[in-house]
Amino acid sequence: MVVFIGSDHGGYELKEQIKSFLEEIGVDVEDLGTYSPESCDYPDIAQKVALNVAKSKEKGILICGSGIGMSIAANKVEGIRCALCHDAYTAEYSRRHNDANIIAFGGRTTGVEIAKQMVKIFLFTEFDGGRHERRVEKIGKLEA
């Protein structure tokens, strides 16, 4: 498993902590920026992560100040279902019911321990399929 991760300046500190956590649990991480706490534009980072996730069929993590901007930008890329999550429940059901392939959250709104919990749940929860498959297919048709 490879996880693509990115943040803007508002999520930089939390991204660095999540990268370390992922490495500790044996997950390969590809950091697509930002590489410092200096101000940058979140759509650029969201695009890099989303394009890599869409191409590779792996998963991604995006972190900005609130998580909102990153999730909006990532969802503009075909094949991406980026879920803005706030707790274990939203992380779990973003995978189980929506087959989300990117999780987003806020570096200024999410504590490191809940972020770790959400990431672990997100990465290791399978899509339920079944009736949810039909709904995910309808989401994909909206891109056309």
What is the 8-class DSSP label of residue 126?
A: P
Respond yes or no: is residue 132 known to be catalytic.
no
d(CA 114, CA 70): 19
Respond yes or no: is residue 82 known to be catalytic.
no
Out of 9, 82, 86, 97, pick the active-site residue: 97
d(CA 1, CA 52): 13
Out of 64, 82, 85, 86, pick the active-site residue: 64
Neighbouring CB atoms inside 10 A of 20's CB total: 11
Report helix angle 88-96 to 112-124, nearest 10: 20
Residues acting as catalytic residues: 64, 97
